[in-house]
Amino acid sequence: MGGKWLSGNGYWVRRVVSNGNVTYPYEHKIIAEDILGRPLKKNERVWWVDGNRSNLDHSNLVICDVRFSAILRMRMRAYLECNNPNLLYCNRCSKWKNPRFFFTHNRSVSGKGAYCRACTRNIIDEGIRLKQLGIQRKQKFSES
């Protein structure tokens, strides 16, 4: 007894009954594990080439590690929002910018926590100013 349906978050879910136990695994996970011939590892994710989570055609699924899927997600977002997959997103000024506007050490390829050069400088300047005023950064944030 099984059956599958599209969940609210756009994933196909399957009802699996085994030894009297009912589980609801994601269909893409079942397909990926079937292709691999083993369970997905903790750091492995399924990526949808066309961005459509309900499209389970094998040519639309890529199994990759979590870091690579983060890079793909960022590049796809940049492409969809700016028509340029090479741009990076600054999480402080909320702008898409050329990677050259990011410090190398701060240029997270997945864009997570990445701040552009200008924002990084502002943060440092702000920190220096607060220090000069004798204000701890922590205090400032706890007040807001």
Q: Give the Cα separation of 34 and 76 in Å (integer).
A: 27
**Residue 56 binds Zn ion (CB under 5 A):** no
64-83 binders of Zn ion (CB under 5 A): none
**Binding of residue 36 to Zn ion (CB under 5 A):** no
How many angstroms separate the CA atoms of 110 and 121, rounded?
21
Among 73, 77, 92, 107, binds Zn ion (CB under 5 A): 92
* Closer CB to Zn ion, 4 or 117, in the complex: 117
Residue ranges of E strands in 1-144: 4-6, 12-14, 16-18, 21-23, 44-48, 61-65, 88-89, 96-97
- In sequence order, the β-bridge partners of residue 12 are 6
Nearest to Zn ion of 4, 92 (CB atom)? 92
Stretch that binds Zn ion, among 64-72, 91-99, 106-114, 131-139 (CB under 5 A): 91-99
Under the criterion CB under 5 A, does residue 116 sit at the interface with Zn ion? yes
